Amino acid sequence: MTPRQINRLLPSLTSPTLRAWQARCIETALQRLSDQQPHFLCQATPGAGKMLMAAVLTEELILNGSIDHVIYLGPTSAVVERARETFSQILGRPMQGRLGDVGIALTYQALSFRLEELKQLCRQGRVLLVWDESHHAAGATACAAKNAYTNSAPTGANQWGLALLALERDVRFTLALSGTPWRTDGSCLPMLRYLAPSHEVATTSEQAVPTLTSADSDRLALIPDFTYTLRDAIQDDVCRTPQIYLIDNDDIRLVAEQQAQRETLYYQSIPALLRHPGVHYAALLRHPGPQQHLLDISCQRLRQLQEKDPTAAGLVVASNISHAEDIADCLKQMGQTVCLVTSQTEGAHARLEAFRYGHTSWVVSVNMVSEGIDIPRLQVCCYLSHVRTEQYFRQVLGRIIRRRHAQDDACYFYALNESTLRHYAYRLFDDLPDEHAAIQLDPFSYPTVPAPNVYPANDSIGSNDPGTSGELPTIDMHGALHAQAPMSECVSLSEGIREITLDLANDVAFSNAFLARLVSL
């Protein structure tokens, strides 16, 4: 392909200036995209600016005569609307799918209903398919990925993945965008390249899926075409440095009844408490003690930030809609201004837009502000969601990580000191964690991604695995460990109380002396 015809690294009054990584990614894509290699994966950390890069790359492909139109796919209406604005601004033409428009932007959900119409468009012109947050689409289970030129539908592909594979036959190029390009069910992402142990490349595409030998069929590793890591983004002043505070308590009392006898148990950490079979993390999030403390310290941090920047704002991620409503009421009672946005909120997207440019201090949501939402004034997150997957953890953190100016070099994330969250916090600089970088191939079952180990609070710390004990380390940019004072040993539990169910609000009491363990990256 020909070199770029517009240098967006230079200041412009009419269009955004590209960051250096965006320009490098565009150059790489222009060099690699061809009829022989029509698929390109950009893996860039959440908050880095993938959408602008995609829009400018689209413009370059139109200018050099490689494509005529673009189709953009996103996971939610809010993300799609933002993409429509960005692409229209860069391309100078609408993205509504009407006659004369440069293309169309729609959700993955809508793709299935308009598939035949879009396939007809692709047959009439050369089309680039941009599929954002690509981890939402499952192309096949790992078992199916090793079968060549199968005529049947790929085993394990979800509805969105099947629609993508059907559309792929008629588009010229595809551009996948994701900060977390893996699926928690272990399935392949469609149309992307995976490397077998023999270094043979398998493409999860309906057009080319090479046969792998049984010796190669144990693992396939994803191959991004361009990678921009969180470490890169922080060093380039693109993203803020996340300060992750995990809240604990060393004086917890639990009163349990069994066979008409009351037993009082004492715990010296939240991980120790969570080992009790009657104590569940999701319920603990709604306990008035930890929840109120998390909200208090999050509000305190936001007030400090607002002294320098009155527009700074915070995000609370709740477990469900009723939980979000309770949190919003609690924040209002604390004198905070609140925007509640859930799937049941009338005019939710309009509310988000108003919040984006307004001065309301907090937005409370469940899933609507978890990925793809660009609100740079968000700088604090209070994480009260029951979801504990690494993908969701990173996506939520990505909402508060975008830098606006030289003074906002840090963001603040508050959560309970739960073992898997602590494990994820330590691994933030692992661009593609090992268990997500490869999928298992098992001819007798669906592939699964191994769950992260859950480390009890009284485990001893290993020399090569910090963050796996109650002793929470501080991690600097170079990976050095600075151990803080260890948390006390937990109380072991007897077998006889496994069937106990507890009313946590009444049966569990926390002291007022909560502890904040900092994971500094």
- Domain ranges across the chain: 20-228, 238-430+471-520
Cβ-Cβ contacts under 8 Å for 130 (sequence gap 6 or more): 54, 58, 70, 71, 72, 73, 83, 174, 175, 177
Q: Average pLDDT in the 2-27 region?
A: 71
pTM attached to this predicted model: 0.75
Label residue 278 by pLDDT band (50, 70, 90).
confident
**20-228 — its CATH code?**
3.40.50.300
Class of domain 238-430+471-520: alpha beta
197 contacts 395 by C-beta, under 8 angstroms: no
Residues 360/370/21/190 CA torsion (nearest 10 deg): -160
The mean of the pLDDT values for the chain is 75
Q: Average pLDDT in the 159-185 region?
A: 77
* Interval 341-378: pLDDT, tens: 998 888 888 898 899 999 999 999 998 876 667 899 99
CA distance 481 to 363: 34
Query: Are both 20-228 and 238-430+471-520 of the same fold?
Result: yes
Q: Average pLDDT in the 176-200 region?
A: 65
CA distance 268 to 515: 11
Label residue 106 by pLDDT band (50, 70, 90).
very high
**Is pLDDT above 70 for 95?**
yes
What phi, psi does 135 have (nearest 5°)? -65, -10
**Is pLDDT above 90 for 86?**
yes
**Is pLDDT above 60 for 115?**
yes
Tell me if residue 258 falls in helix, strand or coil.
strand
Task: Give 474 or 132, the one with higher predicted confidence.
Answer: 132
**Helix intervals (H) in 66-219:** 77-91, 108-111, 115-124, 142-145, 159-168
196 contacts 149 by C-beta, under 8 angstroms: no
Q: What is the pLDDT of residue 509?
A: 74
* Interval 33-65: pLDDT, tens: 999 999 999 999 888 899 999 999 999 999 999
Q: What is the pLDDT of residue 67?
A: 96
Q: Of 98-102, 243-247, 260-264, give the lowest mean pLDDT range.
A: 260-264
Q: Average pLDDT in the 74-83 region?
A: 88
